[in-house]
Chains A and B, each alone.
Chain A
């Protein structure tokens, strides 16, 4: 049956041929073009879903396979302990840098997103939105160069002051760096880099807060801020978390900026002296010098696998947090 015939189901089969096919039940005939389209679409969707899984498993297999050399030596057998000793400072360094970035970026991002969505006059809020998006368009190598040549030196006096006045806290103990190329500087640069992504996710969510709930709060005598606390934040909670996690994912994996800003060294609690390193920076700096097939290369790939796992855990935790309060999410 043709498309046109199906879209107007024949009530009485009298169109051209009179009562020639009285047995045809109009409910059993269907729009064959539509069915085809449906099949093609579901096939494409399935393919896309499968492609993600296949890619992911290939990456995981590649990483696992190539990192065997880092934890197994033919003469000595399993050398897991050696590897962990190597990996541990890098993992901690990565987490510290990302944590600094998150702590700095999240409040600013939420504040900017709130301003754009609920406080700024419409025209201003649009241009601020564009500016924020523009931040995301800056290549990471530019951020790195900026952090290395401008932000680092600019922070040197701050580090000096922190060391003098708060030196009793282990975070600010140790000789302050004279170049400013510390893990803290790297964290600040990362914070600026992840600001746009958190901001735009938060902004999208804040804008979607139901007018109904905002007005409910206002009608009870809430100020604008109280309305935001009562209606906007609870609604946006899951969105804020996923925005922060997206930011964290980027901060964890950021290579170029950290590699440029940080002068890497051994793990130390001090944020203001040179030292510490992150996994991506270590891989980027070490890979060109590692001969193919060597144990060093396997080590770098293995540490990459560790980063992969950390990111996976971060994302799953985020999901878990988002799901925990489903009953109260407003989706029901």
Chain B
């Protein structure tokens, strides 16, 4: 498990509008890569293009190459459904399925594979996934209760458990803590460093301290102005980006002079 992601000259469009221009990046397996940058610089767009989620919007398309290990995600005949089952995603706001119980939420993605499982197998999957998301002890007595009854932080960990249950190669996180309080944020950050041992993780964050805490590598994106495409300005080890950036824009951003 756990594959690398490589983008080669990747352009992401919404219709005619070029949102992200010429991104070249290599995300190593079993690592955490943080995407930082001011609002509207295309980091979420890029993240969503990594598992073809941006295609949900009409007119969205991509040029260039995006490789999962050696396989082109945008190659001819590639089914986005397959891509998404290998590249999971955690969203900005916790979104457990409101009509499903906690248990059903965890199994939701797993059931999509159509594989039949006995009740004990299902129990194991639920327990593994919830343990993997550090949620088991909090919810083990109420697996039949609706997932929407949990607190925000618990819901977000439930969403991570749901993603982990599918055993993806890569997990994408789109500002997973922006709707959470500091304690829940800490829980998620701890979880991210544990998940890193098994998965490739890319995380978009507005919180620079968070990027510094959880990631090994950081990519800084910026735009020249409204209506201009977002670009990858600098991509390096997190410590380099925060302590000794080579680009002046990066330095100004991480030192809090703009954005």
A interface residues (Cβ-Cβ under 8 A, vs B):
121-122, 210, 212-223, 226, 230-231, 234-235, 237, 325, 327-330, 332
- 5 intermolecular pairs with C-beta atoms under 8 Å apart: A218-B56, A328-B148, A329-B98, A329-B99, A332-B146
In the complex, which of the residues A122, A216, A325, A332 contacts B91, with contact meaning CB atoms closer than 8 Å? A216
How many residues of chain B have a CB within 8 Å of chain A? Answer: 31
Query: Dominant SS at the B interface?
Result: mixed
Residue ID in chain B nearest A327 by CB atoms: B146
Chain A interface: which of B14-22, B80-88, B127-135, B200-208? Answer: B80-88
Query: Dominant SS at the A interface?
Result: helix
Tell me, rounded to whole Å, the shortest Cβ–Cβ distance linking A328 to chain B: 5
A220 touching B108 in the complex, CB below 8 Å, given contacts A235-B99, A327-B146 = yes
Question: Which residues of A sit under 8 angstroms from B82, Cβ to Cβ?
Answer: 221
Question: Which residues of B sit under 8 angstroms from A121, Cβ to Cβ?
Answer: 58
Question: Which residues of B sit under 8 angstroms from A226, Cβ to Cβ?
Answer: 112
Report whether A220 and B85 are in contact in the complex, using a CB–CB cutoff of 8 Å.
yes
B interface residues (Cβ-Cβ under 8 A, vs A):
51, 53, 56, 58, 81-82, 84-86, 88-89, 91, 93, 95-101, 108-109, 112-113, 146, 148-149, 159, 162-163, 166
Instruction: Report how many A-B pairs have Cβ atoms within 8 Å.
Output: 85
Tell me, rounded to whole Å, the shortest Cβ–Cβ distance linking A145 to chain B: 43
Question: Which residues of A sit under 8 angstroms from B58, Cβ to Cβ?
Answer: 121-122
In the complex, which of the residues B56, B81, B108, B163 contacts A215, with contact meaning CB atoms closer than 8 Å? B56
Bound-complex Cα distance A216 to B96 (A): 8
Bound-complex Cα distance A213 to B99 (A): 11
In the complex, which of the residues A122, A216, A219, A327 contacts B97, with contact meaning CB atoms closer than 8 Å? A216
Residue ID in chain A nearest B162 by CB atoms: A220
Bound-complex Cα distance A217 to B99 (A): 13
Question: Which residues of B sit under 8 angstroms from A213, Cβ to Cβ?
Answer: 95, 97-98
Report whether B100 and A219 are in contact in the complex, using a CB–CB cutoff of 8 Å.
no
